[in-house]
Every structure is written in structure tokens, then in C-alpha cells.
Structure 1
Amino acid sequence: MVTQRASDIAARVEDFVRTRIIPYEADPRRDHHGAPLDELVYEMRDLARAAGVLTPHILPDGTHLTQRETAVVLIASGLSPLGPLACNTMAPDEGNMYLIGHVANDDLKARFLTPLVEGRARSAFFMTEPAELGGAGSDPSMMITTCRRDGNHWVINGKKRFITGAQGASVGIVMAKSEEEDSKGGACMFLVDLPDPAIRIDDVPNTIDTSMPGSHADVTIDNLRVPADQLLGHAGDGFKYAQVRLSPARLSHCMRWLGGCIRAQEIAGDYANRRMGFGKPLIDHEGVGFMLAENMIDLKQAELMIDWCAGVLDTGSLGTVESSMAKVAVSEALMRIADRCVQVMGGTGVTDRTIVEQIFREVRAFRIYDGPTEVHKWSLAKKIKREWKHAHGG
């Protein structure tokens, strides 16, 4: 059951995105990767602030909506790829705000969380590492970036890859494996001010998705010195904190891109009802009408999966199993929906004359980030094996 406060917030967000933000989709202020420039981001955030829909999932007293409430709000923000940027519900900032809010002390919250909540800064989460170096990707335990104590500082060295939003970010969360004995080989997380000369952006490759400012950078960290009081939480607990962030963050991606696919279905449905072919509207041809009908089914199933997983997270569970199931089911369903919308619209569907083409590209990338489908299925299969062995005394 959606609460009245969540319904009210979501309605305001939806009206704002549809009336004020969708017109910005044609705005040319983009970098050479196609990502929105910060000038555009902060202009839209000023509008959101004035409309009372900036960071709508965090209440004025600093508390969060429940995950179930967050779902309806983030779905509404996702009706345009620019909506989450404007409303400050976009990755990686939304997940970083959640992590800082749950783990940081009051001083760190005041310094690093407040500007994010107020929409005055962007952030980056430095975890993934280059595959050719054997570094952490879907398996964080492979982390090769290191941190060690040096007096009242920690010194961090390593390389990171696909760091979303690093270019132009003001707040960073850097994850590194501790070399200290009392950390038992665990990881640490650090809050850092950006830019920092010890964090060098080596490359920002072009990628299939273009919704995130700063794109996905390759980074070298060379003797980064971080004051000890900027350690996030406790030394050695970084892998645990990663799960605090990643489980709800996976679900938030599902929420936002469900909103995008709702919009794609609206556009494709409108096209199919207006476009004539072989003497009747396309919608009256079973080959087209059935695709849109299948989309209706997938959209509802995705919505129900999100609501179920959100309910689990609201119990206080880390929800790693449930978020893996949701990530697989929803991302695959959304891919089918976006693909059908392109197919229904034919040649128009592969042009930039509508947002459908971008939504298709964004959802294709979503199937990979925050853990590709196959990794989550493998994790679920291991759970099945563990449960079988437990049941059979193995």
C-alpha cells in the first residue's frame, strides 16, 4: 500500500518532470560523450528546488522515505533520463547519500552529505578496478587498491575504472583494501574532497549510456593522503558497508529505469495508434498490439518485484538475495520492454527524434552495472547449493 505522503510527493515529481524537464531533453548542453553538462544539471536543479521536488526521497528533517515510498517517487523521476538529475535522485549520488547517511558520523555528514542533499554537489564512488590488473569488479574481494596508515593520515594507491561521475564531482567515496594488521585484510572507505591532484583521471571512454554527467572514468590514485577522521565507519568494514549501499542502489536503478520504460511504452503506444499500415492503425495488427500488451505485463511484473524487494529492505534486512533477484528480473524485463518499443516504432525508434532510443541504450547498460545478470544468478545458485547442503547435512 502506497502511503498518502509518497503519493503526493510522486505526483508533484511526475508533474514537474513532464512539464518542466522533458522539454530539456533537446537541450544541446552536452559533453562530447553526450552526457549533460553540469551547467544544465544545476539549472534543472534550481527549478526542482523552486518547485519543492529536489531530493524528494529525503525529508526536511533528514529522514528517508521508506524503500516502498521511495519506489513511487523514483519511478516518477525516471520518466525522463534527465528527471533523476534534476530531482537529485540519480546514481551515484542517491546511493552515496544513502551510504553516508547510514554510516558517517555527524561531522562527516555536515561536511559531505549536506551539499549532496542540497543538490549543490555531485559525487563519485571509487570501487571498480581494471580487469587487466586483476582488480575488483563484480567481486569486490579482488580489490587491489591499498590503504595504509601514516601518522594521522591514510595513504591510498591504486587504479579505478568506470567511476561514474568522477569528472566534475566534489565528493568522493574511495574504497581500498587495508594493509593494516588490525583490519584483518578488510577494506576501508574514505570520504574525500574532489578534485584532488592525487586522483588523476586518465581516460573517459565513450559508452552506450549517456545519462550520467562525467560519464565513467578511468582513474589513477597516487599517494592520496586522507586525514584519519575522514575514514567512513570503521577500518576493515568496507565490504560490509558496500552491501549497505549496493542492495538499495540496485533497486533504485530498477525504480528509475522503470519510469523510463513507462515513458517509452507511452510513446510507442501513441505511435502505434496514430501510424497507419496496410489499411489500419498499427495497434490493430497483432504483431504490434501483442508486443505492447506484453510490455504492459512486464511493466506490472517489474513494479511488483520492486515493491516486494523494497518491502524486504524496509524490514531492516540487507536484502542482498532479494536485490539480486530484483536486479535480474527487472533489468531483463525492462530490456524486453525497451526493445519492443523500438521495434514497434520501426525506423523512428532508432532515431533521436524520440527518447525511446536513449532509454533502450540506458537500459542495456543497466543490465551490466551494479552487477551483470549472470553474476547475480551465480550468487543465487550458490544460495541454492548452500541450502541444499544444509538440508542434507552436507
Structure 2
Amino acid sequence: MVHGVAFGDAMGAPVEKLSAAEIRERYGRVTSLRTAWHRDGQSEDQRKGRVRGNGITTDDTAMTLSLMRIYEREGRHLDAWDMAEGMVREIAWESRWVPELQRETPLIERLFYPEKWIFQRLQLSACDPRQGGVGNMVNCGATMYIAPVGVVNACNPRAAYDEAINFAEGHQQSYGLEAAGVFAAAIAQAFVPGTTLSEVVQTAYDLAHDGTRTAIGEIVAAAGELARKGAEADEVTDTFHRLIAPFSPMGDNVSHGPEKAGLATAAYQPSRLLSIEELPLALGFCITAGGDFRQGVIDGINSGRDTDSIGVMVGAILGAMHGPSVIDEDDAELLDSANRFCLSESADRFTTAAQAIIQGDEEAARARAAQRAAIFAQDKKEAAE
């Protein structure tokens, strides 16, 4: 799952914010981690001092690893107070190598405004952690890094949904928050031994609410039909974008500029009718790829727009389903070297923490079962008397 996050992120990063048509015009089709960033050749100011391409990951992976470290430190399930303490520490007060900036620095120096808001709201404003979330300022927000919640709740999608909502309400609200819960649930279901992609998708649909549920339903239905007839990638992308348009304010123009001042505000307000687009699209690309890990990521990131986050969601779901078979040795080595981390070691440490948390859950469940059995036994005794 961890390699799936990083691979999908690094695959999508060079083409993020391009439309599908712009990707086709510039690249033909992106199929490798060894891809140059579309902003290469621009000035440092235009690039905001960042570098991408050839395996470099973005904030999606960095915040996923941050969440994993919080679980490792705490050794328990998390809630909004852990967002206020653990995530604030991770993004604002810990210096680590930030690949896009090519230097050690607090992650907040790289984050977009909505993720910086975690620090501003929860530390500088000292608000109640449960009220830290503000709107849907970023299209996918907490969903891009929430996959570890699905791991510590492996095989228990409802618990994963609830914990993701409890934790991420310190970051977002409304349909951005809803998607985080649904994505975590999909990851939890993906870990069920022998589960099918249909079961993962059905779990996501069953637990989703409001516009998120409707959007998933429409994309999934179309994806099944497209898969049956063997539709080409361009037709899949065009169909998905047409269907997601009523739910998502994004469109092909994902950059903010002065021309959008005062115009996009309503689209980012809380809504029961809207959905972020990345999660429904990611589920759709999983289906049209027939559950194939690499094909799903490639199809997703070539669809344009928020490509790195779509890649993360496809990669995490199918990585959790298929396990180590998805990891190409050359890709794993490039990811480690380009980003100065060791994903296998990070995954091992997190696995140890997740296993301990799950074991604790099982022991607590057995204790509750024994207590309930004692109640029933007492009831029977009293009834007999």
C-alpha cells in the first residue's frame, strides 16, 4: 500500500494540473516514473523553487508518511486531537528532506494553503480540534494522505471510515471530509484476504453519503460498461469527466489566479450535493483497468487535473489488494533514491505499529464478548430462579 501511494504520486506529479489533452499533446502517454516535469525550463520563480519528475514525490506521500509516524509514536487509534498535536508537529516543527524543495525543512514550507491551515487553525488559532476543518479549499485534502487509517483498521471498513472522519475533521469538513472516510474504508476492505475489486467498490459506495455516494455510483456504473466493451483510454477519461462535472467544481482549469477571485467561493462551501472528483475517478480507473495495479495508475494519471492524488488513490487501493507483487524493483529503487527515503523500512515500522493496534482491538473485543456473555448468563440465571 505504501509503495502504491508513492508510485501513484510520483507518476502523476510531472503532469499535475495539465488536462488530458495537454498531456497527450506534450507526452503522448506517460507510462514511466522517468518522466520530466512539464514545468522544466521555467524560471525558479515560476516553479516556486520546486523540482519534480523522475520519481520525485509530493505532499501526498510526505503527509502519508507523517500520518504513519503519528501512529508509530502513539500506538493507538487517532482522533482530531492527534491532528492538532501530532500532525501539527509533523508539518510545522519537524525538519525532514522535502524532495520537491531539495532541502531539509519543515513540510509546511511546501504545503498548499489548506494544509497550512492545519497549523494556523489548530495551533495559532487554538480552536477546538473537532472544529479545525474548514470547507473544501483543496479538492481532495485529507483524502490524499488518509490511507494509513485503513491499515490500522484492516478488514473493518466501518471502523476505518469512523476513525478517518474523527481524525480528519481537524483539517476539512463537508464532502472533502466525507471522501477521506470512504477512501480509508476502501483501503480497509482491500486488505480482506481474497476480497475482490467489486467488494472494495461496493464497500465504498455503501459507506458513502450524499454527493459522494451518488458520484461513486455513477462513475462505477459507467466504468463497468466501459470495461465490458473494452473502451480506449480517451473514451474512458471523457466519459468520467462528463459524469463527474455536476459534482465537482474543478474542471480542467485547476489553478487559482486573480480571474477566479470571488467566483469559485460557492463551489468550496459545505455541500451535500457535491463530491471531490479524485476518489470516484480512482475507483473508476481501478475497474476499467481490471484491477491491474500499473494499468490503473497509468490510466488515472493520464486523465489529467489532480493527477498525483488520483494516482495515490488507485495505487493505494490496488497495492493493498495485491501486496508486494505490485512493486517493481527498479521503481522502488528510484523512489528511494529520488526522495531520500526507504519505503520498505517505513512500511515495516508502520506494519509493526498497525499489528499492535489491531491486536489490542482483538483483545478488547474478546473482553467485551466475555462481559456480554456474563450478562446473558446472569439473565438466564435470574429467569430460571
Task: Give TM-score scaled by structure 1 length.
Answer: 0.29
Name the one with the larger strand percent.
1
Q: Relative contact order (C-alpha < 8 Å, sep 6+): which is higher?
A: 2
